[in-house]
Amino acid sequence: MNSKYSSDPTEHNAVLALCERVAIPEPKAAIVACSLALIETCGVVGPPLSPEHLGYARGIFRVDKKDLVFDACLIPKDSGFIVEVCKFNPRARQRFSIAHEIAHTFFIEVMPELGLPKRETGIGLHSEYNYFEHLCDIGAAELLMPGELFRRAAAEVAPGLTGILELANRFQASLNATARRLTALNLWSCMIVWSRFNEGAEDVAHKPKLVLRTTSADTPEFRSVRTFWARQVSRCLRERGIVSENVCVTNEDIRMESLRVGGEVISVIIPAKRQPRMSAQLPLFPSRSPTTRSKAADRQSRLFGR
């Protein structure tokens, strides 16, 4: 990442200030540390984790569901913050929006000038091109699907669409957020593809809207499975439930599964012979030596004034 974290100088300086505050030079690691420290401070067990509970510890004393044309807004008040979320969004999306606003409070704490209400759209979908908002999405994902907890859960379910649905249900996250988390943490050795279609035009070629893949060596490239994928999406649009088939691509057996969800099709593509990877039974928060514990406590007290 280059040294410019936002085109907005205040946001850029806030990223630097946060890194300095938690003594972690890499911004993504810094926002993850803030999120984990908050979870630890709240003594949260899960899943699912409650963004309202976590937000309360960050001064968000009220969440209002309102008739909005955007996802959410963080509104500063004398005694803390109010979060407004779009009442028409599904609950999983509202939860992620609240968590995203919690992440904003980490930056506002070190840069109070950022505390102006902002109408937020595209929460959960920000790429590195909007690095500041992308950091808040990373913080939100960590708050709702903490890394170690999510890794353990992902190791307990079979890789595939049923597994993604189970994880999404367990963490009360959207399929999109769950898929992004799976690939961001490089779990399962898989590729997850979204496509959108128009009712009545189901025979037209389907273009992927989003392709996510883990970086494992045995995760296929999209171009190698595109033909099989397009054929399965067409079939999926005619059938109900999960459509599954095994195909052989360049001497590799892969399993493809697709499911129509509303106006979209989600497909998961995994090596067919791959067994579920069992991760070590790691605790949510690794035990620490007395030295690191005191460092963590020190960091928390700097973060949350405790």
Which residues contact Zn ion by CB under 5 A? Answer: 120, 133, 136
Report d(CA 223, CA 201) in Å as an integer. 24
At residue 136, the 3 state secondary structure works out as: helix
Give the shortest CB-106-to-Zn ion separation in angstroms: 12
Closer to Zn ion by Cβ: residue 11 or 120: 120
Give the shortest CB-104-to-Zn ion separation in angstroms: 6
Report d(CA 151, CA 191) in Å as an integer. 17
- State the burial class of residue 37 (Cβ atoms within 10 Å of its Cβ: 0-12, 13-18, 19+): buried
Give the shortest CB-137-to-Zn ion separation in angstroms: 8
Give the shortest CB-25-to-Zn ion separation in angstroms: 23
> Is residue 241 a contact partner of residue 265, using CB atoms and an 8 Å limit?
no
Closer to Zn ion by Cβ: residue 27 or 160: 27
- Distance of alpha carbon 146 from its chain centroid, rounded? 10
Closer to Zn ion by Cβ: residue 16 or 125: 125
Closer to Zn ion by Cβ: residue 133 or 142: 133
Report d(CA 252, CA 272) in Å as an integer. 8
Closer to Zn ion by Cβ: residue 144 or 193: 144
Q: H or E element: which one contains 203? A: none
Give the shortest CB-285-to-Zn ion separation in angstroms: 27
Query: What angle do the packed helices 131-144 and 9-22 form, to 10 degrees?
Result: 40
Give the shortest CB-74-to-Zn ion separation in angstroms: 8
Report d(CA 129, CA 178) in Å as an integer. 21
Closer to Zn ion by Cβ: residue 120 or 257: 120
Task: Give the position of tokens 């300095």.
Answer: 20
Report d(CA 180, CA 92) in Å as an integer. 14
> Is residue 267 a contact partner of residue 233, using CB atoms and an 8 Å limit?
yes
Give the shortest CB-213-to-Zn ion separation in angstroms: 26
Task: Give the position of tokens 């929460």.
Answer: 123
Closer to Zn ion by Cβ: residue 97 or 219: 97
Rounded alpha-carbon distances, angstroms, from residue 284 to 21, 148, 150, 280: 24, 5, 9, 12
